[in-house]
Chain A
């Protein structure tokens, strides 16, 4: 059994009178892929937005275990979740920097590290050796990840010019550049064909096994969910209706009911 990475307790998010997430508790383990599934409007993306600081949760707690100490994610607002807690995310509709090159996208992801190295631009302006060294290291990291997704030869092209599937993969490895503890992926397989989906599975398994990064996954594509998830949380109307392994989920009557409705 591996240790718990993310512990969410009694998370509630209200928008006025609308309860988007209702008293949700679940946990995600390190070196696990935890999937959150559910019909449209079940509140999956809202969970992500709470976790990554885009929304402030109405109630509940979210703790991330990082090097044996627990960090309260509620303390961090928007960009600090990524900067301080090491929670990275991707978006349902891809959010790359389309007019910037693939490599630049990867470099922006390493901004905080490079910013410190550039002495808040002062050392960078005078071309200090230590900064150039750090910049080179960041290039190496970018190249490492681009090699993995096979985009090194397109590194200098605009990210917006890449095919859709490559943009998806680029967004994931860009998120990996911040060296996260937890990677939250919002429908990474949306719009991918079968071959691209299979490649995505491989990439996610690599991140889980070789990079020891916990993955939280929202997905509608069941071939992805069933193929790689270690743990599945099913939401409906903001409530958790089921939690278990992929196989258990597939056979759960509650889940089938939520997706297909009941027989009269």
Chain B
């Protein structure tokens, strides 16, 4: 410590103050007010002064604090590390506890319609995150257009269900298949691309699908969207208060009172099961040759080629399988909403899913869950603050990147160990 540090910090905080003044001066300080039907600039210098002072003083203390932290360097004290160690040791128990909690969640006293809706939404994002984790986390292909497959799944489910009247359980695999095919369709042209270039092309692909949906009016009804998508039934038993003549419903079959929550709870379990299937599949396939080839491809494509691994097939399977789960999630989304339009499949959705995967720690299944709870939960908590929601969202991302630059759970477990087999 000493004079030198304080002097440096003061200089630094002064500089921060100047930047803050330059930024906030025009944005916050100059406000236009309508007076006598003319716009007049009304300066608000006091608020600007407060913000600038806050930035400068904050910067000063951060400097002092980080100096102290530097002194303590060497001690493993980071909270994130402790969390990831804890998760490593108790991983299995925590997973079981989390699954048990998700199962009993709908019967918790506080689980009203609002909480159930949030839970369903989070579960959908978790499933999408797990699906995209195959593409980004395992195969290392930065896909910014994942929402396209979500859209393809949703629209193919909706179209098959509306036009052919097929049930959810028939349309679901078809939707997955269609999305998987689109995954391969995207995969072919981008086989040779890597990194930033791949990201741009996938981004464009996502937009192309959205614009296609918007303009192919005969099929998709364009911006009007598709309405009247059949609700899912409980293995043939619909959730309806007043069933059609001679049709048994869920509540009459089980002799229950009709309650709209029954359908919500069913939807919750549906997405829970779909998400858990995605997770189990990913965990399993990661340990198979194809899963190891994905990770090897992420690490070094040239080395893969030199070992005879076919990079084309390996990439295409990653795209196809990732897209398939996106398609499953999409068909769930369609049946839950009963109405879909291109509005729901904008780039921001892709960005959120990518953020979930990256912030969770690439390739980490648990990380996806934690970052979903964190990010989506935060967006929900800040719902009442409207435009500050996105500020909180961005802030959360920045915080994670500062404290856990490689994601919440960055540690990777080997897919196969010598210890186990001797």
Contact = CB atoms under 8 A, between A and B. Distances in A.
Contacts of A120: 290
Interface in A26-63: 52-54
A136 B418 CA distance: 11
Interface residues of A, number: 47
Contacts of B300: 95-97
- Where chain B touches its partner, the secondary structure class is helix
A114 B290 CA distance: 9
Nearest to B285: A121
Interface string B290-309: 10110110011011111111
B13 to A, nearest CB: 39
Contacts of A96: 299-300, 303
A108 B296 contact: yes
Given A97-B299, A121-B285, A82 B418 contact: no
Given A100-B414, A103-B414, A125-B285, A79 B305 contact: yes
A82 B416 contact: no
Contact of B304 (A79, A135, A136, A152): A79
A82 B414 contact: no
Interface in B86-144: none
B255 interface: no
Given A104-B414, A121-B285, A121-B290, A156 B419 contact: yes
A25 B405 CA distance: 52
A125 to B, nearest CB: 6
Contacts of B416: 101, 103-104, 107, 135, 139
Interface string B387-419: 000000000000000000000000010111111
A136 B412 CA distance: 23
Contact of B289 (A103, A118, A139): A118
Contact of A111 (B285, B292, B302): B292
A178 B288 contact: no
Interface string A120-154: 11001100000000011001000100000000100
Interface stretch (A9-17, A83-91, A254-262): A83-91
A109 B292 contact: no
A101 B414 contact: yes
B306 A91 contact: yes
B304 A100 contact: no
B418 A155 contact: yes
B309 A111 contact: yes
A79 B290 contact: no
B292 A104 contact: yes
A138 B308 CA distance: 16
B409 to A, nearest CB: 14
Given A101-B417, A103-B416, A107-B416, A79 B288 contact: no
Given A115-B290, A121-B288, A124-B288, A88 B417 contact: no
B44 interface: no
A108 B414 contact: no
A115 B290 CA distance: 7
B288 A143 contact: no
A124 B289 contact: yes
A3 interface: no
A104 B306 contact: no
A99 B289 CA distance: 17
B310 interface: yes
Nearest to B362: A99
B311 interface: yes
B421 interface: yes
Contacts of A136: 421
Contacts of A101: 414, 416-417
Contacts of A98: 299
A78 interface: yes
The 9 A-B pairs of least Cβ separation, nearest first, read A82-B308, A83-B308, A97-B299, A155-B418, A95-B303, A101-B414, A114-B289, A124-B288, A79-B305
27 contacts: A53-B305, A81-B308, A82-B308, A96-B299, A97-B296, A97-B299, A99-B412, A100-B299, A103-B417, A103-B418, A104-B296, A104-B414, A108-B292, A108-B293, A108-B304, A114-B289, A115-B290, A117-B289, A118-B289, A118-B290, A121-B288, A124-B285, A124-B289, A125-B281, A136-B421, A155-B417, A156-B419
Given A89-B306, A91-B302, A100-B295, 9 more contacts: A79-B308, A79-B309, A80-B308, A81-B308, A95-B302, A103-B417, A118-B290, A125-B285, A152-B418
